[in-house]
Structure 1
Amino acid sequence: MSPDDYCAAKVKASASSFAVAFRFLDAPRRQALNALYAFCREVDDVVDECHEPAVARAKLDWWHSEIESLDRGQPSHPVSRALASAREHFALPLEQLAEIIDGMRMDLDQERYPNFAQLQLYCHRVAGVVGLLSAEIFGYRDRQTLKYAHALGIAFQLTNIIRDVGEDARRGRIYLPQDELAAFGVAEADILAARHTPKFKALMAFQARRAREHYARAFALLPALDRKPQRPGLVMAVIYQTLLDEIEKDGFLVLDRRTFLPPARKAWLALKTWLAA
């Protein structure tokens, strides 16, 4: 299996909303996005699937060294070899790839966030930086587009946090800021025990409003001349916003289930958005 085939298989297996947007891209951009997504999946899986923290740290250290090998032109992993090919066409800063790894390492060091200001660093590393790298692949002429891409990445991560509250809690992690739990009177014990209380619903409605504010902020930052090249991000945004709407319609029942959109609906949203952008 070639490095590109390895990455494409990673994307396909994930059934991610991102994969829907990749279909509209030309071959070089699709290859680069597949490589970037596969890289994110590899380092994220280290944290989620490795039950020994010391082993997970060692694996993330290895990925840091692999980024250095990529810089020297000697990558060994299929994903980093695919990234090397992508970097022949697009400016993908290696320090940003390393920053994604640092974001994943935060999951080994920190299971709670006292406030949103501290959570923002995590969101920046695991999602905002991915937005910046994606923008390089999609293409832009106005550097303000990078501010849009970063803000959109944060909005995606905030949506993920809302969707995955229960799943993350079963891994021992709560990304909802501690001061906001206290303000809404939500006990950690309720989250860990998957109790959907009225107070929890109010807390999640607050989180959803914040996520929507970040989407609005991102769209306001996108220059008109870069709207077409950035269409894949707009496709993903519509899908993610629709997912957020569905979660809210369901009453934020996210502690013991995972809301998802059927593939056909995602495909329709993607096509409609792509043609309209």
Structure 2
Amino acid sequence: MTPDQYCEDKAAQSGSSFYYSFRFLPLQTRLAITALYAFCREVDDVVDETHDEGVARTTLNWWRSEVGNLYAGTPQHPVTRALQPHVVRLQLPQEQLLQIIEGMEMDLTQARYNAFADLQRYCYLVASVVGLLSARIFGVTDERTYQYAERLGLAFQLTNIIRDVGEDARRGRIYLPVEELQRFNVPAADILNYRESDNFRALMQFQIERAEGYYAEALAVLPKADRRNQRAGLVMAAIYRATLDEIKQDGAGKVLNQRLSLTPVRKLWLAWKTWWFA
């Protein structure tokens, strides 16, 4: 199996919205973004699938060393071998790959965030940085496109947090800021025990409105000159926003006890429609 095929399989197995946004890209761009996505999946899986914190930290440190190998021209892993030509061609910043690892590592020790500003830092590392790298891969002619990518990454991560509240609670994690739980009078125990309430629904409506605001900000700042290049990101935005709309319509309180996702057919339809008409 070639490094590129390894990354393709990793992306396809995930069923992620990212995978659908890659389908229409030119070959070299698709190979680059698929390799980046596979890198993110590999690092994320270390945290989510390794139950021993010490083993997880050791593995993440190995990945830091492997990023060093990548930039030294001696990558060992199929993912970094697939990334190597694109790192050189596109001048992808080493620091940003390391920041993604830093963000994933936060999940090993931090299960609560006091304020939204604290959560923003986490979202920046695990999502906005990925957006910045993705924007570079797709093609940037105007620096404002990086502002779009940063805000869009934050919107994506907030959508994930909203969608996965119940799933994260089963892992003992609550990403919703403590200050906001207190403001809406939602005890952490209600979330950890999957108890829906009017207060919880109001809290989730607030989260949805904030995420919608970041989508609007991102799209407003995207320069027209780069809109065509960034269509893959716009495809992802269409799918994520549709997911957010479904949560809103279905009743935001239900995220504690179910994980809503769009069907593959609907994702493919949104991807096709957005790609050709964005």
Q: Same fold (TM over 0.5)?
A: yes
Question: SS where residue 154 of structure 1 aligns?
Answer: helix
Higher alpha-carbon deviation: 86-95 or 198-207:
86-95
Question: SS where residue 229 of structure 1 aligns?
Answer: coil
In the other structure, the counterpart of 1:205 is 205
Cα displacement (A) at 1:270:
1.1
Distance 1:242 1:166 in 2: 20
Give deviations 1:11-63, integer Å, cap 9, x for gaps: 00001111111001011011011100000000000000011111111110110
Cα displacement (A) at 1:267:
1.1
Cα displacement (A) at 1:130:
0.2
In the other structure, the counterpart of 2:94 is 94
How many matched pairs?
277
In the other structure, the counterpart of 1:68 is 68
In the other structure, the counterpart of 1:151 is 151
* Structure 2 unaligned residues grouped into runs of 5+: none
8 Å Cα contact 1:35-1:86 kept in structure 2: no
Cα displacement (A) at 1:91:
2.3
Question: SS where residue 89 of structure 2 aligns?
Answer: coil
The residue type equivalent to 2:175 in the other structure is Y
1:65-214 equivalence runs, <5 A: 65-214=65-214
Cα displacement (A) at 1:110:
0.8
In the other structure, the counterpart of 2:41 is 41
Higher alpha-carbon deviation: 266-275 or 32-41:
266-275
Cα displacement (A) at 1:276:
1.1
Distance 1:246 1:20 in 2: 19
In the other structure, the counterpart of 1:262 is 263
* Structure 1 unaligned residues grouped into runs of 5+: none
RMSD of the TM alignment (CA)? 0.7
Higher alpha-carbon deviation: 211-220 or 78-87:
78-87
The residue type equivalent to 2:201 in the other structure is K
Cα displacement (A) at 1:86:
2.0
The residue type equivalent to 1:275 in the other structure is W
The residue type equivalent to 1:195 in the other structure is R
In the other structure, the counterpart of 2:236 is 236
The residue type equivalent to 1:262 in the other structure is T
Cα displacement (A) at 1:88:
3.6
TM-score w.r.t. structure 2 length? 0.98
Identity among equivalent pairs (%): 60
Question: SS where residue 89 of structure 1 aligns?
Answer: helix
Distance 1:200 1:156 in 2: 21
In the other structure, the counterpart of 1:2 is 2
Question: SS where residue 254 of structure 1 aligns?
Answer: helix
- Indicate yes or no: 2:220 matched with 1:220: yes
Give deviations 1:74-109, integer Å, cap 9, x for gaps: 110111111102224322111100000000011112
8 Å Cα contact 1:28-1:89 kept in structure 2: no
Distance 2:90 2:12 in 1: 23
8 Å Cα contact 1:104-1:126 kept in structure 2: yes
In the other structure, the counterpart of 1:56 is 56
Distance 1:168 1:264 in 2: 26
Distance 1:57 1:80 in 2: 19
The residue type equivalent to 1:258 in the other structure is R
Distance 2:91 2:153 in 1: 18
Distance 2:219 2:91 in 1: 23
Distance 1:27 1:86 in 2: 12
